Amino acid sequence: MATFITDECINCGACVPECPNEAISEGDDIHIIDPNRCTECIGFHDYEACQSVCPVECCLPDPNRIESVEDLLARAIALHPDLTLPATVSELPDNLNRFSNPDHQKL
Ligand code: SF4
Ligand code: SF4
């Protein structure tokens, strides 16, 4: 599921440069995540980089956008044709896949 930013956002901007997919931008009232660019950091980190720096921890999984790790990796590959990312989830190292990190799995 893509990550989304709740109304708790204080518009600090700390998350913007941390996103490997340039998915975060400033909205009218709060920062927003483009769900078509969010991979939940699959392919880059075993945690959500935005949430890791957010002072109010308001970058949360969107229950209305549940996506598989396969779909998220496919999105990362499509977004980064210039990078050599693992082609399949089984080739994805644990440190690039939060689904394999018990500390960062979603409930
Ligand atoms: S979870 Fe990762 S990919 Fe998604 S918006 Fe946050 S930093 Fe970007
Ligand atoms: S780090 Fe958190 S509070 Fe700051 S802009 Fe991003 S979502 Fe909003």
Using CA positions, which residue lies closest to atom 6 of ligand 2?
15
Is the predicted pLDDT of residue 46 greater than 90, yes or no? yes
- Select from 29, 31, 57 the residue to mutate for testing ligand 2; criterion: most ligand atoms less than 8 Å from CB: 31
Domain at 3-100: CATH architecture = 2-Layer Sandwich (3.30)
Residues ≥6 apart with Cβ < 8 Å to 10: 55, 56
Residue 100's pLDDT band, with cuts at 50, 70 and 90, is confident
Residue 106's pLDDT band, with cuts at 50, 70 and 90, is low
Contact 9, 3 (CB under 8 A): no
pLDDT, residue 92, reads 93
- What the block records as the tokens of 13 is 């901007």
| % of the chain surpassing 90 pLDDT | 88
**Half-sphere exposure of residue 29, counting CA atoms within 13 Å on the CB side?**
4
- Select from 4, 32, 41, 47 the residue to mutate for testing ligand 1; criterion: most ligand atoms less than 8 Å from CB: 41
Tokens 């075993």 sit on residue: 46
Is the predicted pLDDT of residue 49 greater than 90, yes or no? yes
List the beta bridge partners of residue 39: none
